[in-house]
């Protein structure tokens, strides 16, 4: 009986030793497994990669240049629009001054003793109008022209035997436009055609 027990105990020890050997060998085998190294790029592949990167950089450069050009144009346009707006506002402030100057010259024409003074003021008026023209301002003086509601303001309609119906028979106050934009409509009297008495 004792011999059998001894033999069983020895078999169990042998099996434990074998299992320990297997467990100690498995990590070693795992450590020996390595990932395969990446193959280096060929000269052709590197060249294609460099070309692609150069193309992307060129596209980014072109986009940056286009953005800058658009920004520059927008700023130039906004600056010009601001200049025109400020100029138009300033000219509108000057229009009543020019009107009063014209009225003063009409009054002075009836006084020969004020001829020299009137000539001086007339020169000032000419200088103001020259500045207006340099900034794209044009006078609207539609005497004898067909009435245009877009540029003229009818103060009244009166019969006139010499002016056709619907035409301007008198300009009360001149109008002004700047680069096609109306600053002030011309105040006018419009002919309603020959009077009834003339028809008879």
Please tell me which residue, 27 or 133, carries the higher pLDDT value: 133
For the residues 29-51, what does the mean pLDDT come to?
A: 71
pLDDT grade for 45, boundaries at 50, 70 and 90: confident
Please tell me which residue, 11 or 166, carries the higher pLDDT value: 166
> Over 90: is that where the pLDDT of 64 sits?
yes
What the block records as the tokens of 6 is 């001894």
DSSP symbol at 112: G
pLDDT, tens only, 166-195:
999 999 999 999 988 999 999 999 999 988
Please tell me which residue, 27 or 127, carries the higher pLDDT value: 127
CA dist list (Å): 142 to 53, 102, 152, 175, 196: 67, 17, 8, 9, 26
For the residues 128-144, what does the mean pLDDT come to?
A: 93
For all residues of the chain together, what is the average pLDDT?
83
Q: What pLDDT was estimated at residue 158?
A: 94
Which fold, 137-200?
Answer: Nucleotide Exchange Factor Grpe; Chain A, domain 2 (2.30.22)
Burial class (CB in 10 A: 0-12, 13-18, 19+), 53: exposed
> Over 90: is that where the pLDDT of 116 sits?
no
pLDDT grade for 2, boundaries at 50, 70 and 90: very low
pLDDT grade for 42, boundaries at 50, 70 and 90: confident
Q: What pLDDT was estimated at residue 156?
A: 96
Q: What pLDDT was estimated at residue 114?
A: 83
pLDDT, tens only, 85-105:
899 999 999 999 999 998 889
> Over 70: is that where the pLDDT of 3 sits?
no
pTM: 0.62
CA dist list (Å): 77 to 63, 67, 70, 71, 87: 21, 15, 11, 10, 15
Q: Name the percent of the chain in helix, strand, coil, to the closest 5.
A: 60, 15, 20
């Amino acid at each position: 009986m004792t011999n059998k027990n001894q033999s069983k105990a020895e078999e169990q020890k042998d099996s434990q030793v074998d299992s320990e050997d297997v467990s100690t060998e498995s990590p070693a085998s795992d450590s020996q497994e390595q990932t395969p190294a990446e193959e280096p790029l060929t000269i052709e592949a590197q060249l294609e990669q460099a070309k692609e990167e150069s193309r992307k950089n060129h596209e980014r450069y072109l986009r940056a240049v286009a953005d800058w050009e658009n920004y520059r144009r927008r700023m130039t346009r906004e600056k010009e629009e601001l200049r025109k707006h400020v100029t138009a506002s300033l000219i509108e402030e000057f229009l009543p001054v020019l009107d009063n100057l014209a009225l003063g010259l009409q009054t002075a024409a009836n006084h020969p003793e004020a001829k020299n003074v009137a000539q001086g003021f007339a020169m000032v008026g000419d200088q103001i109008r020259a500045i207006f023209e340099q900034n794209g301002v044009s006078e609207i003086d539609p005497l004898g022209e067909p009435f245009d509601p877009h540029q003229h303001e009818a103060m009244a309609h009166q019969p006139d035997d010499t002016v056709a119906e619907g035409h301007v028979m008198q300009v009360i106050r001149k109008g002004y436009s700047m680069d096609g934009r109306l600053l002030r409509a011309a105040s006018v009297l419009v002919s309603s055609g020959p009077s009834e008495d003339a028809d008879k």
